[in-house]
A and B are shown apart, each in its own frame.
Chain A
Amino acid sequence: MLAAIRPDSWNYALFLHVLGAAVLVGALVTAGSMQILGWARDQGGGAAMFARLSFRTLLIVAIPAWFAMRIGAEWIRSKEFPSGADEPGWIGIGYVTAEQFDQWVRPDDMVGKK
């Protein structure tokens, strides 16, 4: 396998994206671990303490990390696919616009008989 080469100008965007994603994973693991410990070992207010820490971890670490990851992703996307042409399908997985959401998600169709 030959080493994959990318333009140097993508590196800042990739760095921001990877750092944001890694910190996001860390924040989610930390918050999840604290929540599980809180549920498993409720001794003298332990659950409340772990729940509070879990929430603060999500608020202070996970949300900024998510923004860093998304900004990095959009930055590198704008460099790799400047006009949106020839964009591979996997990049769009998981993202919908508000218009697409309203068009596709119809709560009335989810309940009752058709």
Chain B
Amino acid sequence: MSRYDWLLFLHVASAFALVASLVLYTVLIAALWNRDVPSEAVRLFRVQRVGDVLVAIGSIGVLVFGIWLAIDVDGYEVWDGWIIAALVLWIVMGALGSRTGKLYNAARDRALALSRDGSDAPSPELRALLQDRRALWLHVAGIVTVVLLLIDMIFKPGA
């Protein structure tokens, strides 16, 4: 395989890791939606670690290998409109992901605290945190941003 093939493979594999993390978080949010027992929530939140690894590898990988590809391949430049659009979408995705993560991490930490206190009774406070509409909409916005990134990568408007 040539260097181009390797770069493209690693770029696409990173994109797959990124989308995979979003699928995992979506399933996790759906699974946690109607939970209010702290120990159950804590148990489910363990899956989050897999998503955290995937999102870190995916988001850094798409950026690094994407810029490398843009520099390496004749015909594309980093300042092309569709590549700048991708960079802007990447920043938006990062900001949305960071905000979403903070909200759900607060719910996880509350579930952990309740569980450590030995209180495993259903908690309306925990349910409210897990059903936070703002966190859900931020997550949906993150998904939309990644789909827009994929559209931009495939259709390459202006290229």
Contacts and interface: CB of A to CB of B under 8 A. Distances in A.
A2 B24 contact: no
Nearest to A2: B74
A16 B72 CA distance: 27
A8 B2 CA distance: 25
Interface of A: 1-3, 8, 11, 14-15, 18-19, 21-23, 25-27, 29-30, 33-34, 37, 41, 43-44, 46, 49, 53, 57, 61
29 contacts: A1-B2, A1-B4, A1-B72, A2-B74, A3-B73, A3-B74, A15-B151, A18-B150, A18-B154, A19-B150, A21-B16, A22-B15, A22-B16, A22-B19, A22-B150, A23-B23, A26-B16, A26-B19, A26-B23, A27-B27, A29-B20, A29-B50, A30-B27, A30-B47, A30-B50, A34-B47, A37-B47, A41-B46, A53-B27
B23 A27 contact: yes
Contacts of A49: 40, 43-44
Contacts of B31: 53
A33 B47 contact: yes
B9 interface: no
Contacts of B22: 26
B150 to A, nearest CB: 6
B54 interface: yes
Interface string B24-39: 1001000100000001
B21 interface: yes
Interface residues of B, number: 33
A49 B31 CA distance: 10
Interface in B139-159: 147, 150-151, 154-155, 159
A22 to B, nearest CB: 4
A23 B16 CA distance: 8
A23 B73 contact: no
B108 to A, nearest CB: 15
Interface of B: 2-4, 12, 15-16, 19-24, 27, 31, 39-40, 43-44, 46-47, 50, 54, 72-76, 147, 150-151, 154-155, 159
A12 B60 CA distance: 26
A22 B20 contact: yes
Given A26-B22, A37-B47, A57 B16 contact: no
Contacts of B12: 18
- Give 9 closest A-B pairs by Cβ, nearest first: A26-B23, A3-B75, A26-B20, A22-B19, A1-B4, A30-B24, A33-B50, A15-B154, A22-B16
A26 B21 contact: yes
